Amino acid sequence: MERKYISWLLYLLIVCGLLILSIGFSLIFGGELDFSLIDLPRILADKSDPDNFIIMELRVPRVILAFAVGGALSLSGAILQGIYRNPLVEPYTLGISGGAAFAIALVIVMGWHRLFGSLLFPFAGFIGALSTIFLVYFLSIRKGIINIHKMLLIGVMISFLASSSIMFLMSKGSAADLHSFVFWTMGSLDEPNRDLISVMLTSSLAGLALSYFFVRPLNAMRLGEIKARHLGFNSALTVRMLFILSSLLTGICVAVVGIIGFVGLIIPHIVRLIIGNDYRIMLIGSFLGGSLYLIVCDILARSKMLTESELPIGVVTGMLGGIVFIAMLSASGSKIKLS
């Protein structure tokens, strides 16, 4: 038992150390101007320095957003994989991103963003995601009992319906509309609105705190819903509350930054392989791992290693996540288990 707790502590120390290091690199690298890590304390201390404005007004909000979004998506993935006991489930599997994307496409094609401004995008995205959450939920419940397998299938079908509807809308729109929508779906951490960043950070930390009220039920549900009920846990209530929590976190992420894939799929897998399935460490481990992963991907997106211009963050997370996931599965040599 003591060895397990030591490994948990070691994991957290290493991830926190890497997280601090990645935050430092994220502040000094990016765009057209790079700084020295040695000069960073001096720049941060001198508010009259023009470089201080670049770091504090442009890069710090971006790092905070990457920390919050990466943590929220990875936490949601860990929760949903535990609920469904399915390693392929991720936050976007339930059609949440499809609903948000459909709402954004509708706003773009109808031209409402020209009337109400760019803040309509996150608002419409959240309304679309929220509508999908309730649709999946109410279609999956019968006689007060949620069928999680039915819920998963309904979510996948709603994703297909949303994709088809989006293609229809885009076929009726202009080339400029198509460009705006494609840019949004690639994801972006370049959000100037401080209120949205604050909402995202507060929501992700609150979601992490709330998830720890369900640690024991989640651990029991690794054995299956029936056995969890025999152990005295209300599995139906647990599934309902955790589904709403993870879906709302995902909806807020999609509304603020667009669709950023692979974070909620790959990070819980890596954490599970390193420290096991116990949700006492899985939740915080996935949150910190997701934050670290997205900050590193953002550094790569701004490094101009592949192109002269900045890459969309969703492209980097997809490419890097796919390569890492395939390599991880090949190296493990066996099926990843959730129980």
% residues pLDDT > 90 (the chain): 22
The residue type at 35: F
pLDDT class of 140 with cuts at 50, 70, 90: confident
pLDDT greater than 70 at residue 217: yes
Give the residue from 122, 105, 135, 117 showing the smallest Cα distance to 247: 135
Per-residue model confidence (pLDDT) at position 98: 84
pLDDT greater than 60 at residue 11: yes
Q: Residue 218 and residue 147: Cα distance in Å, rounded? A: 17
Which residue ranges make up each domain of the chain? 2-332
Range of 7-11, 32-36, 51-55 with top mean pLDDT: 7-11
Q: Which CATH class is domain 2-332?
A: mainly alpha
Per-residue model confidence (pLDDT) at position 294: 95
% residues pLDDT > 70 (the chain): 90
Q: Residue 290 and residue 281: Cα distance in Å, rounded? A: 14
Written as six digits, the tokens of 7 are 């490994």
pTM: 0.87
Helices (H), 186-224: 194-211, 215-221
Per-residue model confidence (pLDDT) at position 2: 77
